[in-house]
Structure 1
Amino acid sequence: MKKSSHSVKHIILYLLAAVVVLMTTLIPSASQAVLAAPAALADTAQVMETADSLPEPATDTHADNSLSSGSVDRQIENKKLPSRVAIIVDDFGNNMRGTEEMFKLPVKITVAVMPFLSTSEKDARRAHELGLDVLVHLPMEPRQGKPEWLGPGAVLTKMSDAEVRQRVEAALDNVPFAIGINNHMGSKVTGDERVMGIVLAVCKERGLFFVDSHTNYRSVAGRMARELGLPPVENHIFLDDVHSVSHVAKQMKLVHERAMSQRYCVTIGHVGIQGKETAAGIRSGIAGMKDSVEFIGISELVRDEWKWNSQVTLP
């Protein structure tokens, strides 16, 4: 019995020694793994930060592309929104052909009114009474074109800072109920940082936003708007670059495709010599889109896409 008991003790001692050896071997590896975990997380964060700093896709005009929880919540919220179209109609204010037809369209439009013309105030008031958004369609100097095409109160690059400011403020005062500005012509001005800085500064002071009509593909308006904390709104498709009902209807199909693939589309048409044809083309296009997209005013788009709450005080 004593011999047997002595053997058992030896076996227990051998087992204890084996356990000690195993613990000595494994514990450093475990501790190294624990120490390595924060470094791995830091590497992941750096990768995320690098990805977050990449340029935005050309089809996405969001000012905030971060991966913060707030941005994720916003992306989820936006996915719940239907595809939407904001139609801006330019050149109101001079009793132009197609004015009545545009006002009678069965969907929301945004009415862009040129200042200092015979029906500028009348058209702005009528649009407001119909529940439509109003923009000042501000004449701005183009790279090419006749000066008489601009209309009164145009902003020119040769003007001093004070003169530019005076022109912008006067135009805003002339068009009641305006919640923003978009450019009439303006390919030269929208590429000029000094002049656009003044235009956008006035917008910010008055609680307005600027819609870049995109007559200049090298426009600085969107970038400068972001820098000032304004929504970088821009036109995506001109409806009536060719003046026919069939072409406008064809362009409306492109608007539909963009809205479905990119969630929203901003598009511009005009009253004027071919205003009735543009209105007819828009009406034709609406028929094939009304069940799959929502037609909204530009203020709704700016509010929902860029969380912009205008502080403008309307008369």
Structure 2
Amino acid sequence: MAACLRIVRMLMAAGLIFAGVNGNGMFAAASADPIHSNGGSSEPAAKPAKRGVIVIDDFGSDMKGTKEMMELPFHVTVAVMPFLPTSKRDAEWAHKVGHEVIVHMPMEPLKGRKSWLGPGAIMTSMSDEEIRKRVNEAIDAVPFAVGMNNHMGSKATGDERVMTIVLEVCRERGLFFLDSKTNYRSVVPVLAAKMGVKTVDNHMFFDDIATQAHISKQVRLFQKHLRENDLTVAIGHVGDSGKQTAAVLLRHYPDLAKEAQFVPLANVATVHAKNGN
């Protein structure tokens, strides 16, 4: 036994075993592969410094792709439309599986069918009081919401009066605002900066054309944007393209994760300088 202990001590000194035991009470061998042993360091591999956010719009009606999006094994922000049959369920489901929840607020567009808006939409013809009431009710209808973005809204997001009220309510309720950029003349950046409201801008859509070829092209563009910028936000949807978008994101995620960390919007929303930058 003494001879065995002397041999063990010699092997330990040579770094060939470490002073631990396995489940059988035997000494465990050290890694013979210095590459995979991480040089003896307990530090995890460095994560990419750049950040990406994937937002999925239009939850609330049990549309195609809802289950597939909820089950994605990486972080997404779930934008839930208020006052719909599964609004509450989808918000609670997303929260339970660890996804961030925001209110997908219906707002008046410049073009498009009003039937696409859904209930409780913000129209530019409404009084200040009605707008405030609808925004508060929408927040109440979506449990666990930490932010808001616009559903459609190309007309409303260009209206200073309307967006002042929307942003005031967000500030009062502690929500940030994601400008989906359906109107590139949106007044949100300048107003939010003046009002001290945290905001973030969308940079692109995955599925504005609902074909697998287009979605795949947009995901490759997203990867390029991640590589070249500190922050990239992109929006997809449940609905006609929902299952396709989820499948393409799942397939490309290992490559996307090499470019950036994927985080909640709350991690990147900020009060911008008063020039809107």
Which bin holds the TM-score, normalised by the shorter protein?
Answer: 0.7 to 0.9
Q: 2:122 aligns with which of 133, 143, 155?
A: 155
- Confirm or deny that 1:295 pairs with 2:273: no
Task: Give me the whole-angstrom Cα distance separating, in 2, the residues matched to 1:249 and 1:81.
Answer: 23
- Confirm or deny that 1:141 pairs with 2:76: no
Instruction: Tell me if structure 2 keeps the 8 A contact 1:245–1:280.
Output: no
5+ residue gaps, structure 1, are 1-79, 308-315
Partner of 2:82: 115
Q: 1:128 aligns with which of 70, 74, 95?
A: 95
Task: Give me the whole-angstrom Cα distance separating, in 1, the residues matched to 2:230 and 2:184.
Answer: 22
Alignment of structure 1 residues 79-90 onto 2, 5 Å: 82-90=49-57
AA at the equivalent of 2:229 = Q
Task: Give me the whole-angstrom Cα distance separating, in 2, the residues matched to 1:96 and 1:106.
Answer: 20
AA at the equivalent of 2:171 = K
Task: Give me the whole-angstrom Cα distance separating, in 2, the residues matched to 1:179 and 1:272.
Answer: 23
5+ residue gaps, structure 2, are 1-46, 273-277
- Confirm or deny that 1:183 pairs with 2:150: yes
Greater C-alpha Rg: 1
More strand by share: 2
- Confirm or deny that 1:268 pairs with 2:210: no
Partner of 1:240: 207
The CA deviation string for residues 261-289 of structure 1, in whole angstroms up to 9 with x for no partner, is 11110100000022111111222221322
Alignment of structure 1 residues 2-13 onto 2, 5 Å: none
Q: Structure 1-normalised TM-score? A: 0.69
AA at the equivalent of 1:283 = L
The CA deviation string for residues 230-287 of structure 1, in whole angstroms up to 9 with x for no partner, is 2231100101011122322221122122222111101000000221111112222213
SS at match of 1:257: helix
SS at match of 1:86: strand
CA shift for structure 1 position 306: 5.5
The CA deviation string for residues 195-227 of structure 1, in whole angstroms up to 9 with x for no partner, is 000000000011111100000010001111111
CA shift for structure 1 position 81: 6.5
User: Which consecutive aligned stretches of 4+ in structure 1 deviate over 3 angstroms post-superposition?
Assistant: none
Q: Structure 2-normalised TM-score? A: 0.79
Aligned pair count reads 226
Partner of 1:21: none
Partner of 1:195: 162
Partner of 2:36: none
The range that moved more, 247-256 or 231-240, is: 247-256
AA at the equivalent of 1:289 = L
SS at match of 2:57: strand
Task: Give me the whole-angstrom Cα distance separating, in 1, the residues matched to 2:249 and 2:198.
Answer: 26
Task: Give me the whole-angstrom Cα distance separating, in 2, the residues matched to 1:220 and 1:284.
Answer: 36
User: Could you say what the CA RMSD is over the residues aligned between the two structures, in angstroms?
Assistant: 1.5
Instruction: Tell me if structure 2 keeps the 8 A contact 1:211–1:233.
Output: yes
Task: Give me the whole-angstrom Cα distance separating, in 1, the residues matched to 2:49 and 2:220.
Answer: 17
Instruction: Tell me if structure 1 keeps the 8 A contact 2:83–2:138.
Output: yes
Task: Give me the whole-angstrom Cα distance separating, in 1, the residues matched to 2:173 and 2:123.
Answer: 21
Instruction: Tell me if structure 1 keeps the 8 A contact 2:55–2:78.
Output: yes
Q: 1:101 aligns with which of 59, 63, 68?
A: 68
AA at the equivalent of 1:123 = D
Partner of 1:259: 226
Partner of 2:59: 92
Task: Give me the whole-angstrom Cα distance separating, in 1, the residues matched to 2:51 and 2:240.
Answer: 28
Percent identity of the aligned residues?
51
AA at the equivalent of 1:284 = R
1:201–1:224: structure 2 CA closer, same or farther, 3 Å change rule? same
Instruction: Tell me if structure 2 keeps the 8 A contact 1:182–1:210.
Output: yes
Instruction: Tell me if structure 1 keeps the 8 A contact 2:78–2:99.
Output: yes
SS at match of 1:218: coil
SS at match of 1:136: strand
Q: 2:176 aligns with which of 193, 209, 212?
A: 209
